């Protein structure tokens, strides 16, 4: 099987070129390098240094790479057994399904691939995610095949022996942490840990209490650092924007658990098949960065956060598609079918 290591090395360098919104560009570049090469920063075990990939307009500022052309891709994308599929911007955009997504998923299953649905969106429980996928695409996903950044956060907290959480987030995050046996508190003075995720009913009071808790010594954990999420009206603030408020006010960077960081990757590793994997996503700084970190292939789709004008060139490890609807045919044209299994 052809290993895409050289292409990944180039992608690491290219991803580092993402323009960062942080005031500390140099530190962000260092931690991002750590992320894509699998150092401790992506293992979720370091505080104050895991702020990678949160550039506010990373997609818009992406510099197209001079990658391999299509003719050079013929021998690549071999040995794939698991397709790790992002959700927002890939299968649906807010409440609207991406055209052809359901058929694409059914075709991929028929072609022998195992599917995992992996999302940094912390607003839904896994069962809520499965319902959302079914409603928007018609595809019935098993709850066992869904991995959320809320689950990754619960995984991290339990591994660290942390129990007591003050949550800035929606019911899906609170429920997932509670289901994992963690204790939720609303009194910031009692908080050992502050956990942030997207909260569409966010109040100043909640951010203020989270800030006070972190300043008082609570461990700051972000489910994800996605600055935005795509909606039909355009990009709106995501979980990373919520974390950024606490980070700015508390002057402490969070440990991060979602893509491309270690806790999420550990959960994926527990559920994917042995062999190669392909990540399908709409963000270079989370989805494709995770593929790079694991030595997997990537498929960037242009149906979400990244537009055609800011997409990188294809390489032997990265394909660029208008949407997931084009993926089954592209894999078939590469000669990568279930025969690789």
| Residues annotated catalytic, as ranges | 86, 88
Evaluate the CA torsion angle 74, 77, 80, 84 in order and state its sign. negative
Considering only residues 44, 89, 298, 312, which one is a binding residue for Mg ion as defined by CB under 5 A? 89
| Interaction of residue 294 with Mg ion, rule CB under 5 A | no
Query: Contact region for Mg ion (CB under 5 A) — 36-44, 58-66, 79-87, 209-217?
Result: 79-87
Strand, coil or helix: what is 280? strand
Q: Which residues contact 91 (CB under 8 A, 6 or more apart)?
A: 85, 97, 98, 101, 105, 117, 133, 136, 137, 139, 324
Choose one: 58-66, 142-150, 275-283, 319-327; the region binding Mg ion (CB under 5 A): 275-283
Residue 291 CA to residue 281 CA, distance in Å, equals: 10
209 binds Mg ion (CB under 5 A): no
CA 39 – CA 28 distance, rounded (Å): 14
| For Mg ion, the closer CB: 169 or 304 | 304
CB atoms within 10 A of CB 6: 12
Q: Which stretch binds Mg ion (CB under 5 A): 92-100, 176-184, 276-284, 290-298?
A: 276-284
328 touches Mg ion (CB under 5 A): no
SS3 70: helix
**Of all residues in this chain, which one has the CB nearest to Mg ion in the complex?**
89
Instruction: Give CA–CA dist 156/262, Å, rounded.
Output: 9
Closest CB to Mg ion among residues 193, 224: 224
CB 137, min distance to Mg ion, A = 14
Choose between 43 and 88: whose C-beta lies nearer to Mg ion: 88
Between 214 and 240, CB nearer to Mg ion: 240
Residues touching Mg ion: how many (CB under 5 A)? Answer: 4
Provide, rounded to whole angstroms, the least separation between the CB of residue 90 and Mg ion: 6
Q: For the chain, how are helix, strand and coil distributed in percent, rounded to 5?
A: 40, 20, 40
Judged by CB under 5 A, does residue 88 bind Mg ion?
yes
Least separation in angstroms between residue 45's CB and Mg ion is 25
Q: Which stretch binds Mg ion (CB under 5 A): 86-94, 196-204, 295-303, 311-319?
A: 86-94
> Which residue in the set 14, 51, 170, 282 belongs to the binding site for Mg ion (CB under 5 A)?
282
Determine the distance from the C-alpha atom of residue 12 to the mean position of all C-alpha atoms in its chain, rounded to a whole number. 16
Q: Which of 14, 34, 43, 86 binds Mg ion (CB under 5 A)?
A: 86
CA distances from residue 145 to 210, 264, 267 in whole angstroms, order as listed: 32, 13, 11
Token pair belonging to 223: 């489910």
Compose the 32-71 pattern: x for residues touching Mg ion by CB under 5 A, - for all others.
----------------------------------------
Backbone angles phi, psi at 132, to 5 degrees: -65, -45
Name the segment binding Mg ion (CB under 5 A); options: 107-115, 179-187, 189-197, 280-288: 280-288
Counting every residue written for the chain, the total comes to 341
Determine the Cα–Cα distance for residues 148 and 122; give it in Å rounded to an integer: 7
Q: What is the DSSP string of 177-231?
A: HHHTTPEE-S-GGG-SEEEE---TT--HHHHHHHHHHHHTTPEEEES----EEEE
Please report, for residues 68, 191, 197, 207, the alpha-carbon distance to residue 64 in angstroms, rounded to integers and kept in the order given.
12, 44, 30, 37
- Is 102 a binding residue for Mg ion by CB under 5 A? The answer is no
Q: Is 285 in the site for Mg ion (CB under 5 A)?
A: no
Kindly state the smallest distance separating residue 286's Cβ from Mg ion, in Å: 7
Can you give the binding site for Mg ion, defined by CB under 5 A?
86, 88-89, 282
């Amino acid at each position: 099987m052809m290993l895409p290591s050289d292409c990944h090395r180039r992608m690491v360098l290219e991803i580092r070129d993402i323009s960062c919104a942080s005031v500390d560009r140099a530190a962000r570049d260092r931690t991002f390098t750590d992320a894509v090469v699998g150092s401790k920063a992506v293992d979720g075990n370091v505080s104050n240094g895991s702020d990678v990939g949160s550039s506010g307009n990373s997609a818009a500022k992406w510099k197209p790479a001079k990658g391999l052309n299509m003719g050079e891709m013929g021998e690549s994308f071999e040995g794939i057994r698991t397709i790790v599929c992002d959700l927002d911007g890939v299968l649906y955009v807010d409440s609207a399904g991406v055209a052809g997504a359901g058929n694409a998923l059914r075709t991929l299953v028929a072609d022998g691939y195992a599917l995992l649905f992996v999302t940094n969106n912390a607003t839904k429980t896994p069962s809520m995610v499965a319902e959302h996928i079914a409603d928007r695409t018609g595809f019935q996903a098993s709850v066992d095949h869904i991995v959320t950044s809320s689950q990754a956060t619960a995984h991290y907290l339990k591994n660290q022996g942390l129990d007591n959480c003050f949550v800035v987030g929606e019911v899906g995050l609170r429920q997932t942490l509670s289901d994992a046996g963690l204790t939720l508190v609303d009194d910031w003075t009692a908080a050992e840990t502050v956990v942030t995720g997207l909260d569409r009913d966010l109040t100043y009071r909640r951010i203020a209490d989270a800030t006070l808790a972190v300043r008082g010594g609570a461990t700051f954990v972000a489910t994800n650092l996605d600055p935005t999420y795509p909606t039909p009206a355009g990009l709106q603030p995501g979980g990373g924007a919520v974390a950024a408020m606490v980070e700015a006010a508390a002057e402490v960077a969070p440990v991060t658990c979602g893509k491309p960081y270690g806790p999420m990757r550990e959960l994926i590793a527990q559920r994917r098949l042995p062999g190669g994997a392909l990540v399908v996503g709409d963000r270079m700084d989370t989805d494709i960065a995770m593929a790079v970190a694991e030595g997997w292939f990537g498929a960037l789709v242009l149906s979400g956060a990244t537009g055609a004008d800011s997409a990188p060139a294809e390489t032997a490890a990265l394909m660029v598609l208008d949407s997931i609807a084009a993926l089954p045919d592209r894999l078939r044209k590469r000669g990568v079918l279930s025969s690789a299994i």
